[in-house]
Each structure stands twice: as structure tokens, then as C-alpha cells.
Structure 1
Amino acid sequence: MKLIWTFFSCWLLLALASCSTNDSQTTTETPPAAGKPAAPSAAGKPTVLFFGNSLTAGLGVEPDEAFPALIGQKIDSAGLSYTVVNAGLSGETTAGGRSRVGWVLRKPVAVFVLELGGNDGLRGIPLTDTRRNLQAIIDTVRQLSPQAQIVLAGMQIPPNLGADYAAKFKQLYGELARKNNLVLIPFLLEGVGGVAKFNQRDGIHPTPAGHRLVARTVWGILQPVLQQPQPAAGS
């Protein structure tokens, strides 16, 4: 455990320095640029939208190796019919996500996977700000796409900025999930964060193998959500 946290601490310092499928069932679309709305779903299929930072965007790997694309493959294998949209943006904070979520949600979505906050934590942004921004994003999704199921991806940070800050950072995801009745992924990078062999040379972003592990973690939570009957439009 001590070795893992030592590597994770190096990961934090590097991050502070550097951060400023197609088949008959599912279409995985490329990430929309900042300020551009997500493309409408293909052939009227419900949309699963991944909204996050460079972890979601798949920085440093091929688009089809990033975990949202891998989730698209798992959706196909399960015989489910969804369009997957990757709306990840490298370097994104919760404040940035709050400012662009309205543009991304120009079309309704069935499932909204919210993966933001890691860059806030690495920069030591006050937790009150992170919480307020995440809540605003959740509120915007509920307003613009009221039928969407929101899945919140939890994040953790090493204790470099203080054990109390790290503990409260971890806790805020569970608190937001309970308050808003969200589906929670307890820790997106379970088994990946701080493990050198699953991260690129920068020590920050997952390798293709790391993304496969992230996809497995996400799929364990997301699959039951996707198997639920979708409400009819306008209901």
C-alpha cells in the first residue's frame, strides 16, 4: 500500500504540472468540441452520454481504446441498442463542465455518465466549489433531459493536499449520489489509479489495458441501468 501511494503522489505532482463501435447495435461518436452540442442519436436509438475530462476523452490512446468506446462494445455484445457519445474534454474542471453542459445536452439522452472533479481535486479547488458545480450540472441534466438516468463516477485523490481534504473529496460523490438519487460508481479508477503498469508514461492517464479495467468497473454498474426499460418519449 505504501508503494502504491508513493507512486500515486508522483502521479499527483505530474498531473498538476501537465493538466492546465460501430455495428448494428451501437454507434460510438467522437467527442464534441467544447461549446458544440452532442450529435443526435443514430436511427433514433437512446443515447448514453459520457461527460468528463481526459479520462473520458481517452487522452493518449486511440478513440476505440478509451473506456466509453469499450462500453459501446459491451453494449453490443449484450444485445442492447444504444448510441454512445463521448463528450470528454481534456483538462476539464467541474466549472468548465458546468459552463458547457447545456450545449452538450441540446438533444435528450437516456443515460448521462458524469465523470468530473478529478482536476478540481488535483488543483486543490475548494470542495464547496466542486460540490456546487457538480450539483449545477446534475440540475441542468434534470432540466434539459428529465428522463435521463444519471450515473456519477466517483473519484479519489492522494493525501498530498491533506488527509482531511482527500477524505472529504471522496465522500462528496456519495453524498451527491444520495441527495440526488443517482447511480454511483464508487471509484472510477479502481485497480488503475496509482498502478504504474496500467498508466501511461505520464503516470496520469490509463493505458489501453487500464481503460479495459475502467470499462469493466463502469460496466458492472452501468449494465443494470441499461437493461431497465426506457420510458416512452413524452411520458
Structure 2
Amino acid sequence: MRTLLRFSYLLFIFCASCGNLGTKNPDSEKKENNGSESIFDTKTEKKVILFFGNSLTAGMGLDPNEAFPALIQAKIDSLQLPFKVINAGLSGETTASGKNRISWVLNGDIDIFVLELGANDGLRGIPLEETRKNLEEIIDVVHQKNPNTTIILAGMQIPPNMGQEYTTEFKDIFPSLAQKYDIGLIPFLLEDVAGNPELNQADGIHPTAEGQKIVANNIWPIIAKVINE
């Protein structure tokens, strides 16, 4: 019970930090808007795993090599698998803003697409149907761009500040969409990390380097299953 309350408090203050999370470097914003530069290395012959998400994916507050996408890459390299990981996380991202930039992100071939969005929506109290619709549109765009891309959806949970009904329905969006589209699902991205001060940075929100390792371990079994298939 104490863990749940602590988790609720920490995620509640996430909203207060969203303004800071949305701050962009002018140069990166320019790239995002004009699409003149690609995040893809066109010379690589490896298959691509792309993580599309918010500050959790971006690894806010850490060295990029400590974020879970980089840890997944390290695991892949240790196994000598022919995959390249791309971190397309953007701090402050909502499902709406993610929908707006998805076409730019898909300017290269992607074999595995990991969708990690929704937390900011839930904590801002965005209507659940809007969040669901945005996620559906992102999934549809990925499928339209390349029907062979394997999509994995990262599940998220929020505290009951918006009411128990909203909280429960928000949590259910992710497994529901995974079932509807027959795509992979990470049940809860922050399992065993959320609410633990020893595994989160001073803001109480973003995982530390150790916390990111646990997040990577939450993700790896689903990624490994897709690779093996």
C-alpha cells in the first residue's frame, strides 16, 4: 500500500514537470520540422529497432548510453545479433504530438517499432478516447508505411488522482489495443521501478541508471521473442 501511495505521489508531480520536459533544443526542433536530416544510418545493413516515446525513452537526466534503448543495444551486441537500435524519444511527448511527428520518424525502414506514449496524456487528464484514438492512428500509420514492421506497445499506469474509473480505463487502453491489433505488449514499462526513490532521480520521476537497467529487463523478453521469431 505504501508503495502504491508513493507511486501515486511521484507520478502526480510528473504533470508539474511536463513544461520542462517539453523544452527543445532549437537545432533539434529544426530537424524535426523540416525533415531534412534523418535519424537513420542508410549505410547499415542491420535490421532496425526504433523506440518511439517520451522522456522515459529519451533517458532524461542521464547519459544517452544509460537510457534503456542503449542498454537494449548493448544486449543485442553482446549476443552478436544483426540489429541496430534507434532512440526516438522526445521529452514532453504526448500521443497527440507523437502522432504529429510519426511520419518524419518513419523515413527509413523499421523492423521493430516500440511505442512508448500515453503517460503524459493520463497525467494531464486528457480524454481517454482521445489518447486511444491517437495511439491507434500511430499504429495505423506504422502499418501503412510498412505492413511487415512488428509493433510493440509499452503499457503504462497512472495514480488514481483522476478517479479510479479513469485510472483503470487508462491502464486498460494498452492491453486492449495490443489485442485489437495483435501486437506485442510490455505490460508495465516501469514495473519494479516506479515509486522507488532509490531507482529514480531527484525529481522522483525519471529512472536512475540502475532504474533504467530494470526497465531494459522489462522490455528485453518481449524484444527477444520477436527477434527469435
TM-score by length of 1: 0.89
Corresponding position of 1:9: 8
Q: Determine if contact 2:154/2:185 at 8 Å carries over to the other structure.
A: yes
- Secondary structure at 1:92 match in 2: coil
Q: Determine if contact 2:48/2:83 at 8 Å carries over to the other structure.
A: yes
| Higher mean C-alpha displacement, 3-12 vs 145-154 | 3-12
Deviations 1:164-200 (A, max 9, x none): 1111111110010000010000000000111111111
Deviations 1:40-93 (A, max 9, x none): 355221110000000000001100000000000111122211111000000000
Corresponding position of 1:67: 68
Corresponding position of 2:221: 220
Would the alpha carbon gap of residues 100 and 53 (structure 1) be closer, same or farther in structure 2, given more than 3 Å must change?
same
- Is residue 113 from structure 1 mapped to residue 114 from structure 2 by the alignment? yes
Corresponding position of 1:38: 39
Distance 1:137 1:47 in 2: 18
Amino acid at match of 1:190: E
Amino acid at match of 1:4: T
Corresponding position of 1:148: 149
Residues 165-184 of structure 1 aligned to structure 2 (within 5 Å): 165-184=166-185
Deviation at 1:221, TM superposition (A): 1.1
Q: Once superposed, which parts of structure 1, at least 4 consecutive aligned residues long, lie more than 4 Å away?
A: none
| Higher mean C-alpha displacement, 116-125 vs 2-11 | 2-11
Q: Determine if contact 1:98/1:137 at 8 Å carries over to the other structure.
A: yes
Corresponding position of 1:51: 52
Would the alpha carbon gap of residues 202 and 144 (structure 1) be closer, same or farther in structure 2, given more than 3 Å must change?
same
Distance 2:217 2:200 in 1: 16
Distance 1:34 1:155 in 2: 26
Residues 179-218 of structure 1 aligned to structure 2 (within 5 Å): 179-218=180-219
Distance 1:128 1:44 in 2: 39
| Structure with higher helix content | 2
Corresponding position of 1:98: 99
Corresponding position of 1:232: none
Distance 1:138 1:19 in 2: 24
Distance 1:170 1:158 in 2: 10
Q: Determine if contact 2:12/2:161 at 8 Å carries over to the other structure.
A: no
Computed over aligned residues only, the root mean square deviation of the Cα atoms, in angstroms, reads: 1.5
Corresponding position of 2:78: 77
Corresponding position of 2:22: none
Deviation at 1:154, TM superposition (A): 0.4
Distance 1:40 1:109 in 2: 12
- Is residue 88 from structure 1 mapped to residue 89 from structure 2 by the alignment? yes
Deviation at 1:219, TM superposition (A): 0.2
Distance 2:41 2:123 in 1: 33
Q: Determine if contact 2:12/2:159 at 8 Å carries over to the other structure.
A: no
Deviations 1:82-108 (A, max 9, x none): 111000000000000000000000112
Distance 2:225 2:155 in 1: 18
